[in-house]
Every structure is written in C-alpha cells, then in structure tokens.
Amino acid sequence: MPAFGTDKRHHTLTVLVENKAGVLARVAGLFSRRGYNIYSLAVAPSDDARFSRITIVVDVESAPLEQVVKQLDKLVPVVSITELDPVNARERELLLATIEAGEAERGQVIQLVGVFEGKIVDVGADRLTVMVAGAPAKLDDFEDLVRGYGIVELQRTGRVALPKLDRSAARMPASPGGRPRVLDDHDPTQSEKAG
C-alpha cells in the first residue's frame, strides 16, 4: 500500500465555502451519495470570518476529478475550488501517537521523536504520547519507525495545504506551472450562484 500522500491517485482540493451551519454535512453528503472516496478531510476557518477552507484529498479511482469538482460546484455555499499539485504546494499534517516505551526503549523513542522534531505531550509508566507535525511523507516515515516499538493508539489530522510562494526577485506574475489550478473562481462576496 502506498504511503500517505505519495499515491498518484490522490488529488488535493481546497474548497472555500461560506461559514454557515451544515455546509460540511452537505459536502460530506455529496461524497457519500455519489460514492466518492475521501482520503483525508480537514476543515478550519479562513483568514476571513465569513468563509471556511476545506482541504479534501480525493481518491480519483472512485470518480474522475472533473466529476467531483462539477458536483462540488453545484453546492450553493461553495465559493471557489482549487486543485493543488503536491509539487507546487506546502502540505502539512499533525500526528498524535501513544507508543509503548518501557525502561529499555524509552531513550530510543525519545531520540526518535527529537530527530523528527516532535514533542512528548504525555508520559506514563511504560508509554509515551508524542506529537509530530510536518509533510505527510515525514509522518509516514515516523509512523513506520515507531511501529517496531508498538503503537497503542494513533491519530492523524488529515492534510492541509497552501500553494508555494513565488521566490523570484522580480515582481512578475507567477508562471502557469507555479500557480494552483483554479477550477472555480467565483467572487467570494457573492452568497449565491447564478441559476
């Protein structure tokens, strides 16, 4: 099975929606009704209190990406939909795990957490709860390495992503390859779609 975030079948969509009750249920319901597989889902308010940003990692084997976008676009609360190419995006995720760490292994687990720039957030007699944040591939590597010690519980938040910033010195428009593919570019101040 491919590692999280490295499978070519997975595409990342960021969906800007109106910050209203029931919007997430409508988006999730659409995926459920159509039989689309959501690999990862993260929702949070955006920099504008009127809107929330939903980051959806879609398994395109369950449905073509264009079909998913068309169905999402039919939902009234959706303001814009952007596909982010992993090559041109910064993707991050949070992992919390409780790991078996008896007296003999505790030092090794603590060192491993340090190597991955994580933190120990809880300590028990023979277990540690750790937090690691970073790119999905980094978390995959950490998870693989601590599995040998014994994972008691593990939770991952799901991916969030933003486009990479343009690093050119001149103030010129970004090249088409360096920008996210905007699939739907509505005016965010509009509250309803034209019928």
Count structural domains, the chain. Answer: 2
DSSP 86: G
126, part of any domain: yes
175, part of any domain: no
CATH code for position 37: 3.30.70.260
4, part of any domain: no
CB contact set of 40 (below 8 Å; sequence gap of 6+): 4, 55, 56, 57, 93, 158, 159
1, part of any domain: no
Q: Tens place of pLDDT for every residue, the chain, 195 residues?
A: 344 444 567 788 999 999 888 888 888 888 888 888 888 889 988 889 999 999 998 877 767 788 888 888 888 889 999 888 877 889 999 999 999 999 999 999 999 999 999 999 999 999 999 999 999 999 999 999 999 999 999 999 989 988 889 887 655 554 444 444 455 554 444 444 444
57, part of any domain: yes
User: What is the H or E stretch that residue 38 is in?
Assistant: strand 37-45
CATH code for position 111: 3.30.70.1150
